[in-house]
């Protein structure tokens, strides 16, 4: 799972399958970028305006799900990753997704039975060095595939095949309390969840938007938006550079199905105009691409197609062109590591 923020909008990706870049749907987060830039659309309401914020600093930590929660500290000057002592954490819980709060204080993870079935949602505290300590595990209904924290830090949402369940978060302890607020998602197995900057609206995949009750977190469906053609984030692993407000889409080329390892990485602005394209290696369609909160660094996690482990490669991001350049720094998780989801802290 990848959690990315565009001017306060959070995007979670659930799948990393190959795609051809020729579909006709796009993640709602990309459309919301347009509203954040005051480019109004008829399909999606503009997010509420917010005071200008200072430029964010580089993310402090990176989290990679692979047989546990691998936690890395991020070098703010070079972007290099260093695994923290005791990592990976919670290997016995076989986590499948992870979230971290904006203050780097609490971490949440879906726990599984090792066969892909969710068994609960674990709450961890995190100290200043990135070390995680398990506090408790809460029951999880409907076999959630992803979790998402709202921008205010009040609610955690668990997304299942066609159901969104929410929990309240204790601001002192981080503990979760399940509510009776369960919302049907119109289309099962969609790829994305996204919040508007003020937390008032939740976007589900590329199908629906919901208003959020600020007191209870309950969701009410308000629209079924449609999105421009030309970008297919339902089939490909898209990523967002939050600081620049741009979206990157893997384009594997015509005639390519799942399993293609190379293609082009294409960058779009908030109006879906192409800004930049560069040759890129995606690793047999099983990869993650995430950007740090400042937009200075990007990280690609790639699983070896033959089961040879996972490699995370660091890139710098050109602030003018958006081009990615390898820093020469990487970390490798040897076999039998498998690629889960990667997240960077705010």
- Asked whether residue 189 carries a pLDDT value surpassing 50, the answer given is no
Q: Where are the alpha helices (DSSP H) in 51-190?
A: none
| Selection from 14-23, 43-52, 66-75, 113-122 with the highest mean pLDDT | 66-75
Q: Is 0.85 topped by the overall pTM?
A: no
Q: How confident is the model at residue 26 (pLDDT cuts 50, 70, 90)?
A: very low
- Asked whether residue 71 carries a pLDDT value surpassing 90, the answer given is yes
- For 200-240, write each residue's pLDDT tens digit: 877 765 556 788 888 888 888 876 555 455 566 654 577 88
- Asked whether residue 87 carries a pLDDT value surpassing 60, the answer given is yes
User: How confident is the model at residue 36, as a pLDDT?
Assistant: 31
| Selection from 33-47, 108-122, 172-186, 328-342 with the highest mean pLDDT | 108-122
- Asked whether residue 193 carries a pLDDT value surpassing 50, the answer given is yes
Domains, the chain: 2-344 (2.130.10.10)
What span, in angstroms and rounded, lies between the C-alpha atoms of 14 and 223? Answer: 22
What number of CA atoms fall less than 13 Å from residue 282's CA on the CB side?
A: 30
What span, in angstroms and rounded, lies between the C-alpha atoms of 315 and 330? Answer: 9
Q: How confident is the model at residue 159 (pLDDT cuts 50, 70, 90)?
A: confident
The conformation of residue 57, written as its DSSP 8-state character, comes to P
For residues 123 and 140, the answer to whether their CB atoms sit within 8 Å is no
Residue with tokens 């390519």: 256
């Amino acid at each position: 799972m990848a959690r990315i923020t565009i001017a306060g909008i959070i995007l979670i990706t659930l799948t990393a399958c190959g795609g051809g870049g020729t579909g006709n749907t796009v993640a709602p987060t990309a459309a919301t970028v347009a509203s954040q830039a005051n480019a109004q659309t008829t399909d999606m309401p503009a997010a509420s305006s917010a005071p200008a914020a200072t430029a964010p600093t580089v993310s402090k930590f990176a989290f990679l799900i692979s047989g546990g929660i691998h936690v890395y500290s991020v070098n703010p000057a070079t972007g290099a990753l260093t695994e923290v002592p005791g990592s990976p954490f919670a290997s016995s819980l076989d986590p499948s997704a992870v979230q971290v709060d904006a203050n780097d204080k609490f971490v949440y993870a879906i726990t599984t039975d090792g066969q892909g079935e969710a068994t609960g949602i674990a709450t961890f505290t995190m100290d200043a060095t990135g070390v995680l300590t398990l506090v408790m595990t809460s029951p999880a209904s409907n076999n959630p595939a992803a979790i998402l924290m709202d921008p205010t830090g009040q609610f955690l949402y668990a997304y299942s095949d066609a159901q969104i369940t929410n929990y309240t978060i204790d601001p002192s302890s981080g503990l979760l309390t399940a509510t009776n607020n369960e919302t049907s998602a119109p289309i099962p197995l969609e790829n994305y969840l996204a919040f508007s900057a003020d937390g008032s609206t939740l976007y589900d995949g590329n199908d629906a938007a919901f208003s959020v009750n600020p007191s209870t977190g309950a969701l009410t469906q308000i629209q079924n938006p449609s999105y421009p053609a030309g970008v297919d984030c339902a089939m490909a692993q898209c990523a967002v550079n939050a600081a620049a407000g741009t979206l990157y889409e893997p384009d594997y080329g015509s005639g390519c199905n799942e399993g293609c390892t190379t293609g082009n990485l294409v960058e779009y602005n908030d109006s879906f105009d192409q800004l930049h394209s560069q040759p890129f290696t995606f690793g047999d369609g099983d990869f993650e691409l995430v950007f740090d909160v400042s937009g200075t660094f990007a990280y690609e996690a790639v699983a070896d197609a033959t089961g040879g482990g996972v490699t995370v490669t660091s890139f710098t991001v050109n602030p003018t062109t958006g081009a990615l350049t390898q820093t020469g720094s990487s970390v490798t998780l040897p076999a039998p590591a498998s690629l889960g989801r990667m997240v960077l802290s705010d």
